[in-house]
Amino acid sequence: MATGLFYHSDCKDHITPDGHPEARDRLAVIFDRLNHPDFAPLTRISASPAPVERLALVHDDSYIQSVIDHIPKKDHYALDGDTYLSPRSLAAALGAVGATCQAIDQVMSGQLDNGFCAVRPPGHHAEPGRAMGFCLFNIIAIGAIYARNRHFRHRVAILDFDVHHGNGTQTVVARTKGLFYGSTHQSPLYPGTGHIHDRGEGVIVNVPLAAGSGSRAFRLSYRQRIFPALRDFNPDFILVSAGFDGHARDPLADLELTTADFSWLGDEIKQIAEEKCQGRMVSCLEGGYNLDILGENVAAYISALMR
C-alpha cells in the first residue's frame, strides 16, 4: 500500500499555555517515531494551507470572523476554559485543513492508497458556531464536505475512535444527508454527548463505553455495531478521526486500550475501505496526550495502513 503522511509546518506554531495537554510537542514525538527506517516507504507531503474561505464549508461566517478578530499579537486568547488562540493559530488550522484536503485529492487521484494527516490543533469538538475542547475548526467535517463537493463523493463515512465524543462532527452529520458518523467513546466523559439513540439526516452510530472497558469491549463495538452499519452505508470515501487518548496511559481518560488496539483498528478500517471504496481513506490526528506513548500509538496505526 502507498501511504502518504501529510503535514504543514505551521501546525507546530499553535501555542497553548504551559501545562496544556494539547501541546506542540505532540507532533514532535510523532515525527521522531516516524523517522525510524520502518517508515522510510511513507510518502511525506508538506501540504499547502487551505484558503480561509474553505472553513465556511462547515463553520458560520460570524464564528470564522470572530476567531480572526481575536487572534492575539502575543501570548494567548482564551475562547473557552480549554481552547486558546495564539498568534499563529489561524495559520496552523489552515495548514491542517489544507493537509486534509490535499490528502483527499491525492487519494482520489490514485497517487496514494490512503493518507494520515499529522496535524493540529484537533477539530472534532468544534461546532459550526463555536470552539470547544482544544478544537478551533472541525477539520474532519470540512474534509467530508470537501470530498463530497470537490470529488462528488455522495456517501462519505467518518469514523471517530478518540476517547471523547466528536460532538461537532456529529452536529454536521446530523444535518447532512449522505454522511455517516460512527464513534466509540468513553461515557460519561467530556463533552457529555454521543448517546446511543442519537439520529439525524446522516447516519449516526454511537457506542458509549464505560471507563475501564478495555480492548475486548472496544473491538466488539466495532465488530458488532459500527462495521456492520458502515458496510450497510456502502461508503465511497472513509475519513477517520484518529484519537489515541483511549490508551491506558493517557492522562485524560480511562478506557484502558493498548497500542495493539490501534493497529487492529487501522487494519480493519483499511480492509473495509478496500472492500467498499477502492481503499480510499484519510485519517487525521485528534487526541493523544501522553508524550511517552503517543508516537508509538500513531506508528502502530500507520503501520497497519502501510501493510
Binned at pLDDT 50, 70 and 90, residue 281 comes out as very high
Task: Place 51 in a pLDDT band, splitting at 50, 70 and 90.
Answer: very high
Q: Which of 14, 59, 124, 125 is catalytic?
A: 125
Q: Note the helical H segments in 6-70.
A: 25-34, 61-70
**pLDDT of the residue at 151:** 96
State yes or no: is 125 an active-site residue: yes
- Mean pLDDT throughout 268-285? 98
pLDDT tens per residue across span 219-253: 999 999 999 999 999 999 999 999 999 999 999 99
Round the CA-based radius of gyration of the chain to a whole number and report it: 17
Q: How far lies 126's CA from each of 32, 46, 111, 303, in Å? A: 28, 24, 31, 29
Do 178 and 137 contact (CB within 8 A), yes or no? no
- pLDDT tens digits, residue range 93-120? 999 999 999 999 999 999 999 999 999 9
User: CA 224, 156, 102, 36: dihedral to nearest 10 degrees?
Assistant: 10
Q: Could you identify the residue written with the cell 464564528?
A: 63
- Quick one: pLDDT band at residue 129, thresholds 50, 70, 90? very high
Q: What is the pLDDT of residues 59-97, one digit of tens each?
A: 999 999 999 999 999 999 999 999 999 999 999 999 999
User: Which uninterrupted H or E stretch holds 168?
Assistant: helix 167-174
The single-letter DSSP state of residue 257 is B
Catalogue all structural domains in the chain, each as residue range(s) with its CATH number. Answer: 3-306 (3.40.800.20)
- The pLDDT, as a whole number, for residue 27 is 98
Query: Can you tell me whether residue 181 is helix, strand or coil?
Result: strand
| 158-192 per-position pLDDT tens digit | 999 999 999 999 999 999 999 999 999 999 999 99
1: pLDDT strictly greater than 80 = no
